[in-house]
Amino acid sequence: MPINRLDTNRIFAPQSATAVFALILIAFSCPISASEAPVSEATQECIDCHATFAPAMIADWKKSLHAKTTPAAARKKPELERRVSSPNIPEQLAGVAVGCAECHSLNPAAHKDTFDHNDKKVHLTVTPNDCAVCHAEESQQFDQNLMSHAWGNLTKNSVFSSLMNAVNGLQSVHGLKSTLIAPDQKSQDDSCLQCHGTEVQVKGLQTRETDQGTFDFPVLTGWPNQGVGRINPDGSKGSCSACHNRHQFAIEIARSPGTCAQCHKGPDVPAYKVYSVSKHGALYSALAKEWNFKSVPWRVGEDFTAPTCATCHASLLTSPDGDVIAKRTHRMNDRIPWRLFGLIYSHAHPKSPDTSIIKNKNGLPLPTTLTGESAKEYLINDEEIAARQKTMQEVCKSCHTTDWVDGHWDLFQNSRKTSDAMVLSATEIMRTAWDKKLADNSNLFDEAIEKKWIEQWLFHANSVRLSSAMLGADYGVFDGGRWSLSKNIQDMLDYMKFLMKPGATEGAEQPRQKPKQR
pLDDT tens, residue by residue, 170-186: 999 998 888 899 999 99
Q: Distances in Å between the alpha carbon of 55 and those of 12, 60, 247, 373, 469?
A: 16, 9, 12, 56, 43
Please say whether the beta carbons of 411 and 468 come within 8 A.
yes
Cβ atoms of 425 and 231 closer than 8 Å: no
The pLDDT value recorded for residue 511 is: 41
Predicted pLDDT of residue 53? 75
pLDDT at 506: 54
Which residues lie closer than 8 Å to 330 by C-beta, 6 or more apart?
Answer: 138, 139, 141, 142, 145, 314
* Nearest C-alpha neighbor of 147 from the set 52, 65, 53, 229: 229
The model carries a pTM of 0.87
How buried is 478 (Cβ within 10 angstroms: 0-12 exposed, 13-18 middle, 19+ buried)?
Answer: exposed
Q: What is the pLDDT of residue 57?
A: 78
CA gap 188, 446 in Å, rounded: 17
503 with 511: CB under 8 angstroms? yes
What span, in angstroms and rounded, lies between the C-alpha atoms of 461 and 480? 8
How many other CB atoms are found less than 10 A from the CB of residue 31? 12
All structural domains of the chain: 5-242 (no CATH), 251-257+264-499 (1.20.850.10)
Q: Which residues of the chain have pLDDT under 70?
A: 1-35, 54, 504-518
DSSP per-residue codes, 453-495: HHHIIIIIIHHHHHHHHHT-GGGGTTSSSHHHHHHHHHHHHHH
